[in-house]
Amino acid sequence: MEDDPKPLEDPVEDAVVLPIEDWIDLHAFAPSEVAAVVEEYLYECHRRGWREVRIVHGRGIGVQREVVRSVLRRTPFVLGFADAPPEAGGWGATLVRLDENPRPKE
């Protein structure tokens, strides 16, 4: 007699909901998730009308930093970005300026 197959888990039901703040630390996310996490984070911050956010990607060898900045370059409502000042993470974090006009996610 075969065992009944285990039902698939509902990914929405199992999702972890994180509070949205004016900064995000990417150390908690798998490298393969970073681009999608940054995109969603930026859209939510923009929807809320925030003007500046900080993305902590770590220093390392710069791979995560480049993934983050690649997303920033292709996001139309990002006005600019730069390394954070030393007291806010230095080159291990990126400050991002956002357009103040919220638009719905496309």
Tell me the per-residue pLDDT of 48-99, one tens digit each, with 9 for 90 and over: 999 999 999 999 999 999 999 999 999 999 999 999 999 999 999 999 999 9
Q: What is the pTM of this model?
A: 0.80
The reply to whether 40 falls in a domain is: yes
Query: For residue 88, is it within any domain?
Result: no
User: In which domain, by residue range, is 73 found?
Assistant: 27-50+61-82
Structural domains in the chain (count) = 1
Angle at 97 between CA 89 and CA 56, to 5 degrees: 25
Residue 95 lies in a domain: no
β strands within 1-106, DSSP E: 23-25, 52-56, 78-83, 93-98
Residue 100 lies in a domain: no
What number of helices (H) and strands (E) belong to the chain?
Answer: 2, 4
